[in-house]
Copies of this chain bind each other. A is one copy, B any other.
Amino acid sequence: MSQAPDDGGRRKPGRPRSEEAREKILAAAHAILIGEGLGRLTVEAVAARAHVGKPTIYRYWANAQELALAAFLSRPPQVREIAPSRSAKDDLADHLAGVIAAFASARGRQIALTMASVDGVSELSKAFRNQVILKSREAGRAILARARESGEIGAATAVETALDMIYGPIFYRLLAGHQPLSAAFAAELVETVFAGIGRKEG
C-alpha cells in the first residue's frame, strides 16, 4: 500500500511484506474458488497450494471469507467492452450479453455465492461489491445516460430502478435457476424493459 516512500513519507521499520507472497496467495485462492468452490476455500489449502505459511495469509486477511473477496477483487470478471454504436438498446443488449457470458459460469456462481454470504460492512466487502458486482452496473448507467441525451428514453425515467430491472433478473436467474441464463435472454430483457408491459394507449 504505502510502499512508495514518496519523499517525506517515513517507511515502516522491519522487513516489508512480500508482494510475491501476496500474489501467490491470491492466485492459489482464485484457482481453488474456480476449481472447487467457495466451500473448499480453506486457509490451509491455500497455504499448501501457494507454498506459504498460514500466518502469512492471516497477516493480510482475517479469514477465508475475506480471502475469497480479495481473490475475486484481484481478478474481477472481465465484461467485454462494447463499441458504442447504433442505438442504446442495441448497445445495452450487447453489453448484457457480455455480462451474462462473464457470469454464467462456475466462476459466476461462486461470485454470486460469495456476494450472498458477505455481510457488507467491511471495507473489503464494499470494495468487492463495487468492483465485482456493481462494476457492470455503472457501464449500464453510462449507456442509459447516453440514451437519455439522445432522447431514446424518457426524461422522467427512474434510472436506479431501471438499472435494477436490467441487472436484477440476471442474478435472479443465476441464483434461483428457474430459467436458463442464455445470451438470448439479454435481448429479450432489453426489449421488455424498454417497451414496458402495460397496454399502450393509442
Contact = CB atoms under 8 A, between A and B. Distances in A.
Interface residues of A, number: 51
Number of copies of this chain in the oligomer? Answer: 4
Contacts of A112: 116, 175
Please classify the interface of chain A as helix (H, G, I), strand (E, B), loop, or mixed, using the class held by over half of its residues.
helix
B164 A173 contact: yes
A39 interface: yes
B161 A169 contact: yes
A115 B164 contact: no
A161 B192 contact: yes
B196 A196 contact: yes
A113 interface: yes
Contact of A172 (B164, B178, B196): B164
Given A112-B116, A172-B167, A197 B198 contact: no
A38 B117 CA distance: 9
A193 B178 contact: no
B164 A179 contact: yes
A1 interface: no
B117 A198 contact: no
A160 interface: yes
A194 B162 CA distance: 12
A107 to B, nearest CB: 14
Contacts of A113: 116-117
Interface stretch (A21-29, A96-104, A151-159): A151-159
Contact of A168 (B39, B115, B165): B165
